[in-house]
Amino acid sequence: MRKTVGVIIAVVFAGSVLLLLTGIVNKINRVRQASDKIKTFPAFSFLTLDNELFNSSDISHGPLLVVLFHPECEHCHYEISELMESSISLSGSTVMLVASAVPDSIRKFIGRFNNISNTGFFLLADTSCQFGDIFGSNVVPTNYIYDKDLKLVKVLHGEVKTETILKYLLSDANDSQN
């Protein structure tokens, strides 16, 4: 009887370890695929705050900053407010602010900022929570920086100083002027 119980425990343990390892390998493969997919600006469709469809094809060139944020995130509030106060609107860059939230929640969050209506800013709602599958991360805030040819320059996870974002975002513009 004890032998049978021992065998059952061993089989259950081995099965659990196998299931865990399979999950880890699958996760690594998904991250690797997303990492490969975002080397160039990936295809997607999100909603504008007016519930109109916004596609990746609506962006034809960079430099481009894609910011994943959440309306209730204090770090996101700080980072976006710093971006608004920076010279980003003068850089000729496009900024996509994407949140996995309903448009009303995003509107309330963005209402705190006076100059969000600058051209070059797109406010998007990922109501179907597909951002993580497309870009490979759901960490907020996360910044994806693309050059003028929409090739990935840098991914910055977590709250980042505006100077760091601008350094990578504007490096391509400065290189083309030299």
Quickly list DSSP for 154-171. Answer: EEEES---HHHHHHHHHH
Q: Which amino acid appears at position 24 of this protein?
A: I
Query: Which pLDDT band, with edges at 50, 70 and 90, does 177 fall under?
Result: very low
How much is the pLDDT for 176? 44
- This prediction has a pTM of 0.79
How much is the pLDDT for 67? 96
Question: Which of 155, 172, 165 shows the shortest CA–CA distance to 38?
Answer: 155
Count CB atoms within 10 A of the CB of residue 1.
5
Q: Which amino acid appears at position 102 of this protein?
A: V
Q: Is the pLDDT assigned to residue 130 strictly greater than 80?
A: yes
- In this prediction, residues 117-146 reach a mean pLDDT of 89
Pairing relation of β-strands 94-99 and 64-69? parallel
Query: Which pLDDT band, with edges at 50, 70 and 90, does 125 fall under?
Result: very high
Pairing relation of β-strands 64-69 and 142-146? antiparallel
The more confident residue out of 2 and 31 is 2
Q: Is the pLDDT assigned to residue 24 strictly greater than 90?
A: no
- Give phi and psi for 132, each to the nearest 5: -60, -40
How much is the pLDDT for 31? 60
Span 150-162, pLDDT tens digits = 999 999 999 999 9
Span 36-59, pLDDT tens digits = 779 999 999 999 999 999 999 999
Instruction: Read off the tokens for 138.
Output: 């759901």
Instruction: Read off the tokens for 171.
Output: 């490096």
Q: Are 138 and 57 in contact (CB under 8 A)?
A: no
**Cα torsion at 138, 74, 110, 94 (round to 10°)?**
-50
Span 66-114, pLDDT tens digits = 999 999 999 999 999 888 877 665 568 899 999 999 999 999 998 887 6
How much is the pLDDT for 76? 94
Rounded-to-integer distance, Cα 16 and Cα 6, Å: 15
- In this prediction, residues 138-151 reach a mean pLDDT of 96
pLDDT, the chain, mean: 86
Report the phi/psi class of residue 45: left, alpha or beta, with left for phi > 0 and alpha for psi in -120 to 50. Answer: beta
